Each structure stands twice: as C-alpha cells, then as structure tokens.
Copies of this chain bind each other. A is one copy, B any other.
Amino acid sequence: MINLNFMPDNKNIQIGVFDSGLGGLTVLKHFLKKLPQYDYLYLGDTAHLPYGGHSKDVIYNYTKEAIDFLFSKGCKLIILACNTASAQALHRLQQEYLPAKYPDRRILGVIIPLAEKAAERKRIGVIGTRATISSGVYEQEIKKINPQAQIFHNSAPLLVPLIEEGLASKDVSNKILKQYLRPLKQEKINTLILGCTHYPFLLTDARRLMGNNCDVFDPGNIIADSLINYLERHPEFKSSHKKIGKRNFYLTDQPENFIRLGEKFLGQKINNWETISL
C-alpha cells in the first residue's frame, strides 16, 4: 500500500494569511512583493469583525475555525496576520498543532518580529486593539530582549471600524488617531509599533503625527523579512516554483467593501474570491 504522505508533491507551497478583515492585506502586500512565487490563501473573517473588543475565548474560537479552514484547503504555513489573534489565540493553537504531531503544518504570529525590531530602542510606544493591549504581549516580548526598555501603550478601538469603512486618512480618522497617539507622544517615545494589522492603512498619518523623532515601522515589511528568514531555516516549507503563484481570497461575509478597498490598497485586482461560512 502506498503511503500517500510520502508521495512526491509537485504542488506549490500554499501560505495562509488570516485576518479579521482587510488588515492582513498590509502584510500580504509585502509577501507578494518579496515572495511572489508562493500560492497565497487569504482569509478575512469579516462576519466576526472586529476582533479587538472580544474576550480571549471568543477570539480563540473564531481563529481556530479560520485556521482549520485554511489547513483543510492545503495550507502548510499560516500567518496570523491579526495581532489580536496572535496575542490571544496563537499560543493555544501552537500547542494543538505541535510539529511532532503535524510535521507539515505551522502557524506563525506577527508579534515577535515586531517586538524584536522595536526592542533595539529605549522608549517604545504600542497602539493596538483593546484585546492586544490588555494581553500585555508586546511588553513581555520586548522585555525578554531588552529588560531596560520602557513601553507605553494605548488601545485604539475605533481605528479598525474606521479603516473597514474606508475612512483611513480622512479628517475624522486623523482626529481620532491623533487622540490615541497624544499620550504616547507626551512620553517622548522614539519608536511606535502599529500593533494591529489594520493600522498601516494609516501609516503616513501616524508618521506625520509622530514627527521626525519617532520611527514608525511598516509592520508588513518586517513580518515579510521574518518569513523569509523562517523559510531559510525551514527548507521543508520552501517553494521551488519560479513563476508567480496563485492568490485566492476567502471572506466570511459580504465582499463588496473588502474588494473595493483591498484592490485600492494592493494596487491590483482581486479576481479569485469566494464567500464561505465557518
């Protein structure tokens, strides 16, 4: 009897990118640029958006369903592009998908690459959803690397709804962003972590508001570099394809807003999409 697990696999490696909605596109954009040869399956759980005001259990349940869907579609690597899911559900999911039990399935979060990058600095600001900020995960991860770092944070719960409504960079979003950043600016932070995958939709505004003395990284860029590094260390997940891979989008609710705003942000058409129930 042929063991199917050892059959040669001519298919490309599929990478799953999971977010509550539009936000993960700020990560996917950099993946498409730096690692175009992979196949990408993007899942936006727009039926449950926004995640950031929910409890740990609710976030875990939503994320688990999404992950199981992406694995069932053949993904080998899944990036929890959503900071809230990375902060509240990743650890438990990684315990459930132990490499010893599932050698061809990995789930990676986005917190550690950003924390590592920021930990080079001394006065670090973080904005995120209420669930991410209350988890304290950025502070923990930064202090593991740089115990002297001082971390200041503020939750910014309205930014996700504003961005999903297509109001990024509008006057009203700028005013609200300014309010959220004010206490961090007063602390004279010298780097700011945009600790929610939606926030890079406001990257230009955040940089302008924070001024020249504060670095505001583009998280997607750092996460893409971290993925390249991971793939170097784990060649079993490396693609040998030379051509540009496939891109498929799955949404758990009506797609109009996602596609309109997503195409604008990515600067390319979103052709292969499907609405699904989880």
Interface residues of A (CB under 8 A from B): 46-50, 53-55, 58, 157-158, 161-162, 164-165, 167, 172, 175-176, 179, 252-254, 257
The minimal Cβ–Cβ distance linking A260 to chain B, given in whole angstroms, is 13
| Interchain nearest-CB distance for A128 vs B (Å) | 15
A54 lies within 8 A of B158 (CB): no
Beyond the given pairs A47-B54, A47-B55, A54-B253, 7 more chain A to chain B contacts, judged by CB atoms under 8 angstroms and listed by A's residue number, are: A46-B53, A54-B254, A55-B253, A158-B167, A161-B161, A172-B172, A175-B175
Which residues of chain B come closer than 8 Å to A58, judged between CB atoms? 47, 252-253
Give the complex CA separation of A252 and B58 in angstroms. 9
Give the distance in Å from the alpha carbon of A157 to the alpha carbon of B53 in the complex. Answer: 17
A89 to B: closest C-beta gap in Å: 14
Q: Inside 8 A of A55's CB, which chain B residues have their CB?
A: 47, 253-254
Residues from chain B with Cβ under 8 Å of A46 in the complex:
53
Residue contacts A-B, CB under 8 angstroms, 14 given: A46-B53, A47-B54, A47-B55, A48-B48, A49-B53, A53-B164, A53-B257, A55-B253, A58-B253, A158-B165, A158-B167, A172-B176, A172-B179, A175-B175
Closest residue of B by beta carbon distance from A21: B53
How far apart are A264's CB and chain B's nearest CB, in angstroms? 18
Tell me how far the C-beta of A66 lies from the nearest C-beta in chain B, rounded to whole angstroms: 15
Most central of A58, A162, A179 by chain B CB within 10 Å: A58
Question: Which of A55, A162, A172 has most B Cβ within 10 Å?
Answer: A55
> From A161, which residue of chain B is reached at the shortest CB distance?
B161
Distance (Å) between the CB of A19 and the closest chain B CB? 16
Kindly list chain B residues whose C-beta atoms are within 8 Å of the C-beta of A54: 47, 253-254
Complex interface: chain B residues within 8 A of A175 (CB): 172, 175
Instruction: Write out the residue numbers on chain B whose beta carbons fall within 8 Å of the beta carbon of A49.
Output: 53
Q: How far is the CA of A167 from the CA of B161 in the complex (A)?
A: 14
A162/B172 in contact, CB under 8 A = no
